[in-house]
Amino acid sequence: MTSKRSGLLPDLSPWRSSADFRLLWVQGLIAYFGSFMAMIALPLQIKDLTGSPLAVGAMGAVELIPLIVFGLYGGALADSADRRKLIVNTELGLAVLATILLVNAMLPDPMLWPLYVVAAGVSAMAGLQRPALDSLMARIVPHDQLTAAAALNNLRWQFGGIAGPAAAGIVVAWSGHATAYGITLVTFAASALMCLRLAPAPAAEGAEKPSLRGIVEGARYAWSRPVLLGTYAIDLVAMFFAFPVAIFPFLADDLDAEWAMGLMYTALAVGSLLLSVMSGWTSRVRRHGLFVVFGAGVWGLAMAAAGFFDNIWLVLLALAVAGAGDTLSGLGRMTIWNQTIPEELRGRLAGIEVLSYSVGPQLGQVRSGAMAGWTGTRAAIWSGGLMCVAGVVLLTAALPKLVRYDSETDEDALRRRAQQEATLAKAEAEAETEAEAEADAPAGPRPQVPGQG
């Protein structure tokens, strides 16, 4: 019985083997808490100022262009600059943006336009930062521990995703938007200080400066790999059709359950948390493409159910199932990306990955907000879920190599494993040479004892 339970519990190998992974895990937990606090407070403030679901959904449109531009540029930058410095500077930038939200919320009559400006700025900072963070994982975590690392990172996200929205709902209701933004500011400042303790992560020797040619080179590589294309396309479809979180406040109103609005956001994280807590078995799986496909299908079906049910508790249950499905799909995507992409392209491909899992949600907010104004909130949610399922089925049929992906036989995965092992062997050889040189170095002059010639 004990062995079966331990096989379900999260695999802690990355935590034990990498000090930088431990530091990033704790830093990310703090940053996610603050990010989720702002993610709830910002649309709530727009709703309070306008009362319009379209105005809330427009936040996704404002974030879209900065995310595309800075995501691609951030990927190229991550291949040519010290990733630690890039992470620290963007955390400081996020702290400045949180300060703007705080000051605006403290005005007697808060203005609407700064909320959209900050939303665009946050999107730009995220586009610059995420490629550096994502590409760093493949460097600091051993190849055979990448799925476990992805599961632990999801676990971190869920802790923030549960505590942040729940706390945000309480804080905004009892203390106002300014307090929520103040907490966000503190978390970003603390996160930046922690990132300073990371080991330097300089670019590879001979790395080129960021350029359009380099970005195009990364895009060509992704286009030539059907497995990678499948991970990007399925996530884009799933998020575009079935990411209605911006209209959750209106869903709560429709169900006469305004008190449950924060719980709707939390339910997604709870489902994700439950799957991550029982993720030990995922480290033994080799067919990660199946994770991507099955998880995205579950996400769509569960979202359709959330829009169909008129009982708040069934809606929360459906959202929890959706969260679990999204996490399973995410584990598959992150593992495939880190197992197959060569180190010299990791940053640029991470920039493309940022677009694949971020542009979809932004467009999904616009779609759900616009459709809710036309068909009603619940119809916008359940129809999007069904369209998500249909899209996943079509893409699976068009890109069968994704389903057949096997980490033990895929050529790109084997090549990346050999590359990482060679890098590790080189580092160990250099360390051994330095140790031998120190041992063979002649001893310095014997110190003179006073009174002796």
Confidence of residue 447 (pLDDT cuts 50, 70, 90): very low
Q: Give the chain's end-to-end CA distance (angstroms, integer).
A: 75
Q: What is the pTM of this model?
A: 0.71
| CA angle 95–331–425, rounded 5-degree value | 90
CA-based nearest residue to 135, from 86, 189, 88, 63: 86
d(CA 199, CA 420): 18
Cβ–Cβ contacts within 10 Å for residue 55, how many? 18
In angstroms, how far apart are the furthest CA atoms of the chain? 100
pLDDT digits (tens, 9 = 90+) for 261-311: 778 888 888 898 888 888 778 878 888 999 999 999 999 999 999 999 989
| Alpha-helix residue ranges (DSSP H) falling in 51-176 | 53-78, 83-105, 113-140, 146-175
| Minimum mean pLDDT range among 119-123, 157-161, 220-224, 390-394 | 157-161
| Whether the Cβ atoms of residue 222 and residue 229 lie closer than 8 Å to each other | yes
Q: What DSSP character marks residue 446?
A: P
pLDDT digits (tens, 9 = 90+) for 412-429: 888 888 877 776 676 667
